[in-house]
């Protein structure tokens, strides 16, 4: 079984790595390295001890967090070799534990048991967070935080932890010698933590928290080369664009809370199943679209796709991990997780946005020359595929594609990283060429990845893509006016094959265009090659149905509330992509036919039977047709590409083509001017508004205040002048008179103290005599 294989190879790699570190770090292993070994052993034992799902879940997400904190505080100065081994151990243990969960899920699938763990099921611990009074019941109800572990979680855990582990390994070689080496691993730790918790949690609020946290770690990692202007700008752009989407997400959450007063996914689903909000379809639509906004931001769907190509400023392993395999898939995961809350309108929007993104990004990818940008646009396009798949109801196909895409896209990115590393940070494909002989491992693994993404049979991408196309076709057959989705997706598949092989041909074949770089090109260290090989194996075989994975998806990774094995035609499922639409139409038709007194439930039963049958027919037809068409399209794309870019058999000159296309080429080359459009409208608008407001604030509001001050000063000036000219004049005059006479009187002041005493005595005597005279005068009178 391939999962077991993966797990074992992971373990072996881990062990090998630690042995490697212990032997090469110096003659005497430092105490901390001994500790490492002990911790590692302890962790493996822990894996066996942590039998409870909750313990496993907690360990899975908290270990990378721990590594983040350790590295941030002690990484640079206090740990040998920057503490990278801590990050390796943490993610390694997470991977072990993730595998054990996955193993249980697969085991349950094989034995036909249920696989679902949630806090309400009893064996998952829950944590009571903040509490509020529920207005419906009047009771204080805490928000319960817990885990929701089902097959989807298991597979997501495996994808995230697995690729994260491989990227860690790859980074050991790729990032060697970079400044802030240990900070880099710290950032990877916080990313792994938030992404793992994102897939584990059962609470939308926590999910939102993780959602933002992955955004931040993405910000940190894109801006890792912090002193590069473009990296800084790209990081900011990524975060802000995501924030726009998150705004919608947040509003969606407000609607959720307003209606359900809980964020527990399970409780929301239960309430929905019990008919809550059945009478407010518009609110439901808004809620769904709001939540989808988050996905649009994170999964870089049109119109918020602009950040992803710029995000390639980050280190290449980061692009592989975050911007290809895991974080950007979070949007798809979100829509999948919340599948039951969307209604028909929302699904239509989702489908069209996904389709549009798929085809738009694919066309742009043809024209790009930066190897990472091509891959970025290809990622966009594939994400569009997944979103469109969810929109058309091909739930398990979308997640299947998510998984296979994670493997082959991570592979492609790591390969491109290997190429870039080999050419000393040269990213322009026009300066590459002829590398096939120089870097054999990279060439072969990249070819594998390309074949997988192009949808060549027997490679994983073929199976998943085929399923999506089948789903789209099915939906198109049920609702013929939406058939355009299928056609667009098919076209996008062809274009994908074309531009991916363009990349291969330009990079690995032909004559080297930059001979100097070519001569110095070399394969990376083994830490870089091992992940490539592992991923290549996964890119080939993760789609093979006979290994069980395809079946697992088909039967186990299904929306909540639908019975296993009957993924897409549950009675409660939305009507858009089930034959329920058929059933209704036919039902009404039959009803009209039998309007004359026949029993009412008979035609309905008829219709149900017909729709059951019809659905199977549709499914089968769609499958076959889609498979044939997709093989055809992929082959023609590859051939066309070879004719254009493989120098040995070239018959078409791409430059001439570009000239012939003229303005169309320019349009596509400049990414449909979306960036420019935003710059001219939103950025410029914001700039104008903020400048106007700032000026308003300074001139008008503050002006009023200062004006009031000035009026006061003016009045006080006037009154001051009155004071000076009139009031003060009088005072002065009095003073002058006093002074005049004072000059005369002051001669009395001799300065001789005896004199004063005499005068005092004399005055006293005079006064007494006067008083006596007056008294006697009056009394005498």
Partner 1 sequence: MSGLVIITFLPIIAGCILALAPLPNDTVRKASLAVTLAILAISIPLMWNFGEAYRAVSPEVSEAANSPMPFVYETNVKWIETFNINFHIGVDGLSMPFVFLTAFLCPLCILASWGIGEKVRGYFALFLLLEGGMIGTFVALDLFLFYVFWELMLLPMYFLIGIWGGPRKEYAAIKFFLYTLFGSIFLFIAMLVLYWKTGTFSLVELPGHEGLGDLKWWVQIALFLGLYVAFAIKIPAFPFHTWLPDAHVEAPTAISVILAGILLKMGTYAIFRISFPIFPVATAWFCTPLAVLAVINIVYGALCAMAQTDFKKLVAYSSISHMGFVMLGMAVYKEEAMQGAVFQMFNHGCITAMLFLLVGVIYDRAHHRDLAGFGGLVKPMPLYGGYAAFAFFAALGLPGLSGFISESLVFLGAFQEQKLLACIGTLGILLGAAYMLWTYQRVFMGPVNEKYKDYKDMNKIEIASLLPLAVMVLVLGIFPFIFLDMLAPTVSNLLAHLHVGREEYEAMRTAAEQVAMNLHP
Partner 2 sequence: MVGLPHFLIVSAILFSIGVFIMITRRHGIMMLMGLELILNAANLNLIAFSRYVETGIRGQTFAIFVIILAAAEAAIALAIILSIYTHSAKINLDELTSMKE
Partner 3 sequence: MFDFIFFVFAFVCVGSALFVAFTPNVVHAALGLASTFATLAGFYILLGADFLAITQIAIYVGGILVLMLFGIMYTHNIARVSGEQVMMQVGPALLVVVLTLFTLVATILSTAWPAKEVGPPQPTADRIGVLLLTDYLLPFEVAGILLLVALVGAVVIAQTPVRKSIEESID
- The residues that touch partner 2, with contacts defined as CB under 8 A, are 746, 749-755, 757-758, 761
Distance CA(25)–CA(585), nearest Å, equals 73
175 is a contact residue toward partner 1 (CB under 8 A): no
- Residue 413 CA: distances (Å) to CA of 27, 152, 372, 450: 36, 25, 7, 11
- The residue within the footprint of partner 1, chosen from 250, 265, 329, 489 (CB under 8 A), is 250
Distance CA(774)–CA(112), nearest Å, equals 133
Residues 70-89 that bind partner 1 (CB under 8 A): 72
DSSP string for 674-714: HHHHHIIIIIHHHHHHHHHHHHIIIIIIHHHHHHHHHHHHH
254 is a contact residue toward partner 1 (CB under 8 A): yes
- The residue within the footprint of partner 1, chosen from 68, 185, 208, 463 (CB under 8 A), is 208
- The residue within the footprint of partner 3, chosen from 240, 660, 731, 758 (CB under 8 A), is 758
Instruction: Return the closest-CA partner of residue 669 out of 235, 302, 373, 234.
Output: 373
716 is a contact residue toward partner 1 (CB under 8 A): no
What's the number of CA atoms in the CB half-sphere (13 Å) around residue 309? Answer: 22
Give helix then strand counts, H and E, for the chain: 31, 4
Q: Cβ of residue 781: shortest distance to partner 3, in angstroms?
A: 19
753 is a contact residue toward partner 3 (CB under 8 A): no
Distance CA(96)–CA(138), nearest Å, equals 44
List 149's β-bridge partners, or say none: 117
- The residue within the footprint of partner 3, chosen from 768, 773, 774, 775 (CB under 8 A), is 768
243 is a contact residue toward partner 1 (CB under 8 A): yes
Q: Do 339 and 269 touch, CB atoms closer than 8 A? A: no
Q: If contact means CB under 5 to 8 A according to the sort of partner, which of partner 1, partner 3, partner 2, none does residue 239 touch? A: partner 1
Q: Which phi-psi region, left, alpha or beta, contains residue 138 (left: φ > 0; alpha: ψ -120 to 50)?
A: left
- The residue within the footprint of partner 3, chosen from 663, 744, 754, 777 (CB under 8 A), is 754
| Residue whose entry in the numeric block shows the structure tokens 């085809």 | 359
Site string for partner 3, 8-47 (x = CB under 8 A): ----------------------------------------
- The residue within the footprint of partner 1, chosen from 46, 233, 547, 674 (CB under 8 A), is 233
What tokens does 96 get? Answer: 């072990």
Distance CA(573)–CA(562), nearest Å, equals 8
Preceding peptide of 369 cis, ω within 30°: no
Strand stretches in 579-735, DSSP E: none
Q: What is the largest CA-CA distance in the chain?
A: 152
β-strand pairing of 127-133 with 140-145 = antiparallel
Q: If contact means CB under 5 to 8 A according to the sort of partner, which of partner 2, partner 1, partner 3, none does residue 769 touch? A: partner 3
Q: Which is nearer to partner 3, 729 or 775 (CB)?
A: 775
What tokens does 90 get? Answer: 């943490």
| Residue 779 CB neighbours (<10 A) | 7
Distance CA(323)–CA(308), nearest Å, equals 7
720 is a contact residue toward partner 3 (CB under 8 A): no
Distance CA(538)–CA(7), nearest Å, equals 12
- The residue within the footprint of partner 3, chosen from 719, 755, 774, 776 (CB under 8 A), is 755
Q: If contact means CB under 5 to 8 A according to the sort of partner, which of partner 3, partner 2, partner 1, none does residue 468 touch? A: none
Q: Cβ of residue 179: shortest distance to partner 1, in angstroms?
A: 9
Q: Which is nearer to partner 2, 599 or 752 (CB)?
A: 752
- Which stretch, 110-118, 381-389, 562-570, 751-759, contacts partner 3 (CB under 8 A)? 751-759
Q: Which is nearer to partner 3, 717 or 765 (CB)?
A: 765
Distance CA(144)–CA(120), nearest Å, equals 10
Q: Cβ of residue 749: shortest distance to partner 2, in angstroms?
A: 7
Strand stretches in 134-211, DSSP E: 140-145, 148-150
Preceding peptide of 303 cis, ω within 30°: yes
Distance CA(37)–CA(47), nearest Å, equals 15
558 is a contact residue toward partner 1 (CB under 8 A): no
What tokens does 742 get? Answer: 């004072």
Q: Cβ of residue 750: shortest distance to partner 2, in angstroms?
A: 7
Please state at what angle helix 460-478 crosses helix 484-508, rounded to 10 degrees.
160
SS (H, E, C) 385-401: HHHHHHHCCCHHHHHHH
By CB under 8 A, the count of residues binding partner 1 is 51
Q: If contact means CB under 5 to 8 A according to the sort of partner, which of partner 2, partner 3, partner 1, none does residue 691 touch? A: partner 1
Distance separating the N- and C-terminal Cα atoms of the chain: 142
Burial class for 689, CB neighbours closer than 10 Å (0-12, 13-18, 19+):
exposed
Q: Which is nearer to partner 3, 613 or 755 (CB)?
A: 755
- Which stretch, 47-55, 249-257, 390-398, 639-647, contacts partner 1 (CB under 8 A)? 249-257
| Residue whose entry in the numeric block shows the structure tokens 């004049």 | 729
Q: Which is nearer to partner 3, 741 or 771 (CB)?
A: 771
Site string for partner 1, 670-709 (x = CB under 8 A): ----------------x--xxx-xx--x---xx--x---x
236 is a contact residue toward partner 1 (CB under 8 A): yes
Distance CA(243)–CA(237), nearest Å, equals 10
Distance CA(224)–CA(763), nearest Å, equals 97
- The residue within the footprint of partner 1, chosen from 223, 314, 315, 476 (CB under 8 A), is 223
Main-chain phi, psi angles of 58, to 5 degrees: -60, -45
Q: Which is nearer to partner 3, 280 or 776 (CB)?
A: 776
Q: Cβ of residue 216: shortest distance to partner 1, in angstroms?
A: 6
Q: Do 411 and 445 touch, CB atoms closer than 8 A? A: yes
Q: Cβ of residue 691: shortest distance to partner 1, in angstroms?
A: 5
Q: If contact means CB under 5 to 8 A according to the sort of partner, which of partner 1, partner 3, partner 2, none does residue 39 touch? A: none
Residues 262-281 that bind partner 1 (CB under 8 A): none
Q: Which is nearer to partner 3, 727 or 767 (CB)?
A: 767
Q: Which is nearer to partner 1, 239 or 356 (CB)?
A: 239
Q: Which is nearer to partner 2, 748 or 781 (CB)?
A: 748
Q: Cβ of residue 687: shortest distance to partner 1, in angstroms?
A: 8
Q: Do 449 and 536 touch, CB atoms closer than 8 A? A: yes
Q: Cβ of residue 748: shortest distance to partner 3, in angstroms?
A: 14
750 is a contact residue toward partner 3 (CB under 8 A): no
Q: Which is nearer to partner 1, 229 or 592 (CB)?
A: 229
Q: Cβ of residue 186: shortest distance to partner 1, in angstroms?
A: 11
CA dihedral 389, 195, 534, 490 (to 10 degrees): 10
- The residue within the footprint of partner 3, chosen from 764, 773, 774, 775 (CB under 8 A), is 764
Residues that bind partner 3 (CB under 8 A): 754-755, 758, 761-762, 764-765, 768-769, 772
The residues that touch partner 1, with contacts defined as CB under 8 A, are: 72, 129-133, 140, 180, 205, 208-213, 216, 219-220, 223, 226-229, 231-233, 235-236, 239-240, 243-244, 247, 250-251, 253-255, 257-258, 686, 689-691, 693-694, 697, 701-702, 705, 709
């Amino acid at each position: 079984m391939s999962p077991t294989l993966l797990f074992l190879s992971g373990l072996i790699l881990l062990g090998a790595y630690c042995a490697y570190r212990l032997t090469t770090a110096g003659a005497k292993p430092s105490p901390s390295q001994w500790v490492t070994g002990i911790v590692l052993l302890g962790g493996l034992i822990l894996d066996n001890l942590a039998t409870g799902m909750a313990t496993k879940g907690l360990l899975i997400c908290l270990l990378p967090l721990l590594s983040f904190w350790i590295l941030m505080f002690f990484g640079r100065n206090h740990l040998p070799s920057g503490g990278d081994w801590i990050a390796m151990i943490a993610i390694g243990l997470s991977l072990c534990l993730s595998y054990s969960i996955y193993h249980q899920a697969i085991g349950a699938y094989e034995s036909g048991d249920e696989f679902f763990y949630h806090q309400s099921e009893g064996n998952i611990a829950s944590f009571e967070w903040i509490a509020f009074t529920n207005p419906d019941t009047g009771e204080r109800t805490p928000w319960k935080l817990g885990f929701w572990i089902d097959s989807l979680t298991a597979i997501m855990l495996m994808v995230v932890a697995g690729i994260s582990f491989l990227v860690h390994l790859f980074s050991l070689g790729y990032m060697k010698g970079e400044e802030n080496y240990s900070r880099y691993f710290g950032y990877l730790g916080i990313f792994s933590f938030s992404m793992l918790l994102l897939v584990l949690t059962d609470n939308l609020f926590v999910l939102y928290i993780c959602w933002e946290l992955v955004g931040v770690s993405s910000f940190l990692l894109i801006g890792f080369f912090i002193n590069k202007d473009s990296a800084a700008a790209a990081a900011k752009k990524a975060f802000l664009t995501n924030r726009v989407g998150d705004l919608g997400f947040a509003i969606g959450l407000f609607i959720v809370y307003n209606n359900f007063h809980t964020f527990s996914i399970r409780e929301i689903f239960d309430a929905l199943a019990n008919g809550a909000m059945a009478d407010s379809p518009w609110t439901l639509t808004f809620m769904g679209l709001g939540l989808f906004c988050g996905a649009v931001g994170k999964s870089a769907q049109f119109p918020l796709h602009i950040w992803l190509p710029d995000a390639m400023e980050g280190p290449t392993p980061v692009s592989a991990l975050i911007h290809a395999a895991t974080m950007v898939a979070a949007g798809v995961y979100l829509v999948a997780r919340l599948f039951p809350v969307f209604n028909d309108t929302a699904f239509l929007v989702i489908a069209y946005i996904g389709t549009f993104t798929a085809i738009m990004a694919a066309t742009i990818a043809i024209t790009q020359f930066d190897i990472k940008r091509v891959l970025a646009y290809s990622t966009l396009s594939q994400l569009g595929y997944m979103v469109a798949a969810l929109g058309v109801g091909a739930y398990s196909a979308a997640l299947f594609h998510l998984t296979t895409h994670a493997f082959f896209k991570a592979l492609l990115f790591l390969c491109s990283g290997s190429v870039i590393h080999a050419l000393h940070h040269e990213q322009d494909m026009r300066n590459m060429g002829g590398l096939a002989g120089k870097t054999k491992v990279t060439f072969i693994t990249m070819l594998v990845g390309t074949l997988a993404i192009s949808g060549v049979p027997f490679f994983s991408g073929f199976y998943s893509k085929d399923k999506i196309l089948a789903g789209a076709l099915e939906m198109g057959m049920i609702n013929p006016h939406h058939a355009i989705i299928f056609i667009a997706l098919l076209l996008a598949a062809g274009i994908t094959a074309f531009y991916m092989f363009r990349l291969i041909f330009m990079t690995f074949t032909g004559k080297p265009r930059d001979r100097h770089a070519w001569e110095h090109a070399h394969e990376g260290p083994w830490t870089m090659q091992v992940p490539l090989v592992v991923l290549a194996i996964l890119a080939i075989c993760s789609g093979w149905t006979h290994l069980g994975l395809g079946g697992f998806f088909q039967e186990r990774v299904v929306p909540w509330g639908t019975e296993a094995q009957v993924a897409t035609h549950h009675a409660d499922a939305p009507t858009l992509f089930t034959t329920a639409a058929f059933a209704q139409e036919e039902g009404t038709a039959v009803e009209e036919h039998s309007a004359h007194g026949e029993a009412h439930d008979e035609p309905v039963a008829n219709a149900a039977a017909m729709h059951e049958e019809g659905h199977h027919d549709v499914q089968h037809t769609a499958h076959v047709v889609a498979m044939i068409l997709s093989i055809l399209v992929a082959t023609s794309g590859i051939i066309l590409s070879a004719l254009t870019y493989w120098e040995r058999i070239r018959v078409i000159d791409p430059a001439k083509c570009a000239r012939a296309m003229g303005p169309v080429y320019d349009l596509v080359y400049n990414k449909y001017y979306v960036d420019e459009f935003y710059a001219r409208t939103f950025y410029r608008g914001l700039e104008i508004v903020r400048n106007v407001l700032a000026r308003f604030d300074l001139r008008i509001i503050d002006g009023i205040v200062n004006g009031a001050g000035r009026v006061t000063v003016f009045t006080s000036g006037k009154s001051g002048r009155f004071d000076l000219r009139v009031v003060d004049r009088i005072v002065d005059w009095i003073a002058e008179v006093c002074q005049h006479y004072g000059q005369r009187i002051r001669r009395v002041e001799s300065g001789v103290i005896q004199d004063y005493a005499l005068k005092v005595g004399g005055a006293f005597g005079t006064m007494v005599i006067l008083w006596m005279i007056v008294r006697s005068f009056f009394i005498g009178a």
